[in-house]
Structure 1
Amino acid sequence: MRFRSTRPETALLPAPAVPDSMRAVVFDDPGSTEVLRTAEVPVPTPVLSEVLVRVVAAGVNPIDAKTRAGRGLSAAIEQGPCVLGLDVSGVVVRTPFDAHPFPVGTEVYGMAAVPRTPGAYAEYAVVPTLSLARKPSSLSHVEAAGVPVAALTAWGVIVETALAHQGQRILVHAGGGGVGHFAVQFATYFGAHVIATGSGRTLDWLSELGAAQVVDYTSERFEDVVEPVDVVVDLVGNVADDTGTRSLDVIKPGGLLIEVPTGAWPGFREAAAARGIRSTDYKTIPDGGALATIARLLDSGAVRVYVDRVFDLADAAAAHAELERGHTRGKIVLHVGDD
């Protein structure tokens, strides 16, 4: 009996010529958006299981802005210039071996290992094999670049940590943001009753994404209108109106608080424990297997990604400024190169 591989067939293509240098957006020292500049830098060299990806689009995430400002991942930057950009969507141009799961020419999306290696705010990026998956066929590269960090964070929080299931009540703060709009959809997909906070143009949209109840945080306090919940996914913390602390008032005894933003509420563990509530923080795991599952959900139409704004690579500073103004609906993406 002969067994056939279930992996999609991809013809082996000759490796395209790769230049020695590339256009990238870098910063030398932390600071405001003005520290970002366009420069010509060496194309990174993949080692071991890494592949080289020609970048078509790169997602912009809050962790990028925090790192640029001297927080986030900045402690791991050994020297400048640094190339930001965890989210990448593009085409494989170099692989470690001929029979690699992502042959040359494969359209992929995933997470670069910033700041261990240069990121996706560049024409080329090296990405670990285990942090990649085939790009959802129904999505453009610009749409796909808005997925990895936000969707993997939401997947880890909702599916792997909260264990979303039928009959469970989950409150998602900032449901209209990058992570939030995936969290609402994943929790709904797995049968949970979802409540989401938002404002303005996100309110009706959150209902379309599956939220059973939407709370406009600008006009009412969620603790006054939300019945007790099993899980709170806090994507805000205490940086705005003590959202984290107030969340303890709506969590059932023995329920779970998941605190996502780094440093947004340093004392959440002690505060939750004092109320008989379980708690944990969360850090994104760059899991290519999970990305492959998410790709199937995206291609089936069960989950959607929303890209709010697209900027050219050279306008990365403007993209960071837009992100830091807040109230982004879904994701911001940089267009880097041609399909």
Structure 2
Amino acid sequence: MQTAQTNNYMKAMVLENYGEAFKLKELPVPAPAKGQVLVRIAASGINPLDTKIKRGEGKHAKQLVPAILGLDLAGVVVSTGEGVTSFKTGDEVYGMAGGIGGRQGTLAEYAAVDADLLALKPANLSMREAAALPLVFITAWEGLVDRANVKADQRVLIHGGAGGIGHVAIQLARSFGASVFATGSSKSLQVIESLGATPIDYNSLSVKDYVEKYTAGEGFDIVFDTVGGETLDKSFEAVRNYTGHVVSALGWGSHSLAPLSFRGATYSGVFTLLPMLTGKGMKHHGDILREAARLAENGQLKPLLDKRTLALGEAEAAYKAIESGATTGKLVVNI
């Protein structure tokens, strides 16, 4: 076990009841259990899921109140628990580490985190940039790589290409050599194009129109839905016959599978929270983040950040900005 000096107490934003404002409190610094490391958090990435949990609408996340929310972090290891050999005191790390399933979240100065969930921070990214990546990159990897087995020369369509998952999914698919297309509103098309994808304005082109225009009517090899609802139904119409694969990170609700079945295509769902909820498969998340670090250090992956800088005590404002749709890029809170 390795330990660095810490204070006995930390500041944390606590949600006492769903739908209420956070309260800034002082709490004891947690001690790392077997297989855990204690991280001094430098930055906490905020995701739309975090805001749903705060409102009491993210029941699938199984986070009871009172709780400290926040899924993503980047920071420095200050001590290691029994059996941890993969990290040492002083290591800069990042990961999707808490905020669900009763785990302490990242809106705090410290967190005791399962070492399997972490990876060394990409050397060329700031703490803020690293904290923006874990949830969205893991989701993109599980969809495109684990489920759809993305390959060079495939045509990949990503719905919501300028969003949190979408903008890293574009970069990930391109790193495998795929030709990437992405839907968005007119205001997001420039961002999509800057990431190296062919932008598709979903308001001006029907599914039939853009399938004809970009695939000569054949359909896309992979369609990755990051939006859900009606967009998933459209994904079933846009996929290639026989060999096509639709993946969704928001495959909720009721959907007719007939358009998919008529194409002889396949479908997979992604539920990124499962390892933290079950305790099974957590090491794969750390492995995925090591791949993200490799891509970032090779210049193939860079998150888009919202320009505003907010401190821990301003987490309430951060959540409201995401709920209002007023952010451009991932919003990260400085701890």
The TM tier, using the shorter chain, reads 0.7 to 0.9
**DSSP-derived class of the 1:236 partner:** coil
Are the counterparts in 1 of residues 45 and 70 from structure 2 also a CA contact under 8 Å? yes
Are the counterparts in 1 of residues 34 and 83 from structure 2 also a CA contact under 8 Å? no
Q: Distance in 2 between matches of 1:172 and 1:328?
A: 20
Deviates more, 1:85-94 or 1:272-281: 272-281
Are the counterparts in 1 of residues 71 and 99 from structure 2 also a CA contact under 8 Å? yes
Are the counterparts in 1 of residues 41 and 75 from structure 2 also a CA contact under 8 Å? yes
Q: Which residue of 1 aligns with 2:137?
A: 151
Q: Distance in 1 between matches of 2:258 and 2:35?
A: 41
Cα RMSD (Å) of the superposition? 2.3
Task: Give the 3 Å change call, closer, same or farther, for CA 20–156 of structure 1 in structure 2.
Answer: same
Show structure 1 runs of 5+ residues with no match: 1-11
2:237 to 249, 253, 261: 249
Q: Which residue of 2 aligns with 1:230?
A: 221
1:311 aligns with 2:329: no
Q: Which residue of 1 aligns with 2:147?
A: 161
Show structure 2 runs of 5+ residues with no match: 276-281
1:216 to 198, 201, 205: 201
Q: Which residue of 2 aligns with 1:280?
A: 268
1:192 to 148, 170, 178: 178
Are the counterparts in 1 of residues 9 and 29 from structure 2 also a CA contact under 8 Å? yes
Q: Distance in 1 between matches of 2:117 and 2:256?
A: 30
**DSSP-derived class of the 1:304 partner:** coil
Q: Which residue of 2 aligns with 1:289?
A: 287
**DSSP-derived class of the 2:161 partner:** coil
Size of the aligned set, in residue pairs, is: 316
Q: Which residue of 1 aligns with 2:81?
A: 96
Which one-letter code corresponds to 1:124 in the other structure?
Answer: Y
Are the counterparts in 2 of residues 177 and 330 from structure 1 also a CA contact under 8 Å? yes
In the superposition, the TM-score normalised over structure 1's length comes to 0.86
**DSSP-derived class of the 1:308 partner:** coil
Q: Give the CA deviation at 1:327.
A: 6.8
Deviates more, 1:309-318 or 1:268-277: 268-277
Which one-letter code corresponds to 2:13 in the other structure?
Answer: V
Q: Distance in 1 between matches of 2:175 and 2:158?
A: 14
Q: Which residue of 1 aligns with 2:300?
A: 302
Q: Give the CA deviation at 1:43.
A: 2.0
